[in-house]
Chain A
């Protein structure tokens, strides 16, 4: 029980990072990032290979590049940087002015092709079998702990990272930068006429989101100790969209609530239930239900459970009624 609870808590923190990344990119920046999960995967792979030892090529059961046995917390830093770097590359051709459905399609294509590459190029990241045996951070230092104890320490660590990212995104959302980003989201041409650089602002949001998504991947892979192409299909991206739209796009707490409902309660809890049918049946049915959930949610509550908060402007001291000029 305690094991399940700690695992679910880690998942929640990881998923909420990803949801905040998407909220930054899509909720505030208007970028329909259908490749979101790719940035998490990039972080996960990066953290995995740099914390694994060098691939000697002889009698190793998996093949990969860049093995470096880097100590904690360097793999996480590299995960975040990789996510950001990949976002800069993908953003360079997908963020320019175009119809939003085109943009979504192009990012989806990027994501689907990335999976094909990683699955087929075995020498790169061990193909479709994925990487296993990723060392868990500080397991030497914390070797006094029980397995269960370690899980809880990890959950706390994930929570600390989530808190830090929360403080960052909350601040970004309130900032003048966040407001400028939302202006670009609403009307990019009009935003340019007030001196804002739409491409620049969107790129910043995209890269920041990429960093956060990469970080979430690093955090997850060090917990799971394994990562493979099965973990980052387009369905996972769709689930994050469903979560933030159900919770309330643009509202950090709404997004967290949506994550709890969709990612944790709906998608993760059933994996601990006894198996029904053949392996994978429940998984498949879950995705069918997620698709249905989104269709229902769009039909009955398109603005989400906790809609974005309205900004209340405070008039200066004399008050708007007094001292009216003219």
Chain B
């Protein structure tokens, strides 16, 4: 592993027409670290994740992944370099089954090429078998094996969230960005995801979680970044941040 931060965000700004949604934000994410990104509604959290994932173009600033500048890379290329993310809105593939949602992620771009998937051959079958194996073990791990054949459209809100997170994990990312992953998830599964976040971190992944439920943030995050009106107002441990005047002001101003 490289000694520097795995994700280095330098002076990033995002604008929507006249609205400055993210203003000059800098932060660093190290390996094996879970960072909570919190702040009131409209603070710019999702916009920042969009800038990191490539869905939203930055107005200025740089994003570096393992020292490599990815500011101009489109989302799919960032994904191939190891950035995985979920969205605030549900984004399961509704016309695919749960199993397929995960399988398509496990196969990724290499496994989905037109030529490769038309030509037969051992290599292709081998790859499929590996992906299927990984998919099944992931499904069992999350106790969703008996839902394998459900369409995405047939799932509950919480189940969809779970599938979205599992879909990210199929890719063994270096950086995982989760936008409000617990919304609509049943309490026992929240515990589950919390435990998984810790496990994911220990397996060498750096995680940013945007979350309104502060007890979740307290439980899983090594430190928090507090945003308000597009700016970072505090970067500290959870306890420190909560006792800071600036954070109170951000939430209650």
Contacts and interface: CB of A to CB of B under 8 A. Distances in A.
Nearest to B55: A189
B118 A196 contact: no
B118 A183 contact: no
A323 B145 CA distance: 12
Interface stretch (A3-11, A82-90, A219-227, A313-321): A313-321
Nearest to A315: B136
Given A177-B113, A320-B145, A195 B80 contact: yes
A182 B95 CA distance: 7
A310 interface: yes
Interface in B67-109: 74-76, 79-80, 83-87, 91-97, 99-101, 103-105, 107-109
B202 interface: no
A187 B140 contact: no
Contacts of B167: 190, 194
Give chain B's interface secondary structure class: helix
A197 B76 CA distance: 6
A320 B74 CA distance: 38
A180 B140 contact: no
B133 interface: yes
A3 to B, nearest CB: 39
Contacts of B112: 176-177, 179-180, 196, 201
Interface stretch (B147-155, B208-216, B220-228, B233-241): B147-155
Contacts of B104: 176, 179-180, 183, 194, 196
Nearest to A30: B95
Contacts of A320: 136, 139-140, 145-146, 148
B209 to A, nearest CB: 16
A176 B111 contact: yes
B198 interface: no
Interface in B153-172: 164, 167-168, 170-171
Contact of A310 (B75, B93, B149): B149
Nearest to A204: B114
Contact of B145 (A197, A201, A315): A315
Contact of B93 (A183, A308, A315, A316): A183
Interface string B120-143: 000000001000110111011100
A217 to B, nearest CB: 23
B28 interface: no
B87 A311 contact: no
B44 interface: no
A193 B53 contact: yes
A179 B113 CA distance: 11
B117 interface: yes
Given A176-B112, A179-B104, A183-B96, A190 B87 contact: yes
Interface residues of B, number: 56
Contacts of A277: none
Contact of B76 (A192, A308, A325): A192
A99 interface: no
A234 to B, nearest CB: 27
Contacts of B105: 194
Interface string A162-201: 0000000001100111111011011101111111111001
Interface string A294-326: 000000000000001011110110001001111
Given A177-B117, A180-B107, A195-B80, A313 B93 contact: no
Contacts of B151: 310
A123 B100 CA distance: 52
Nearest to B164: A190
A175 B118 contact: yes
Contacts of B149: 310-313
A153 to B, nearest CB: 31
Contact of A177 (B83, B118, B132, B136): B118
Nearest to A198: B76
A299 to B, nearest CB: 20
Of the candidates A191, A308, A313, A320, the one having the most CB atoms from chain B within 10 angstroms of its own CB is A313
Contacts of A324: 140
A326 B140 CA distance: 10
B91 A187 contact: yes
A146 B10 CA distance: 79
Given A194-B79, A194-B167, A197-B76, A311 B108 contact: no
6 contacts: A175-B118, A177-B116, A192-B74, A192-B76, A192-B79, A316-B133
Given A195-B171, A320-B145, 4 more contacts: A186-B92, A187-B94, A195-B80, A196-B108
Interface of A: 171-172, 175-180, 182-183, 185-187, 189-198, 201, 204, 250, 308, 310-313, 315-316, 320, 323-326
Interface of B: 53-55, 74-76, 79-80, 83-87, 91-97, 99-101, 103-105, 107-109, 111-114, 116-118, 128, 132-133, 135-137, 139-141, 145-146, 148-149, 151-152, 164, 167-168, 170-171
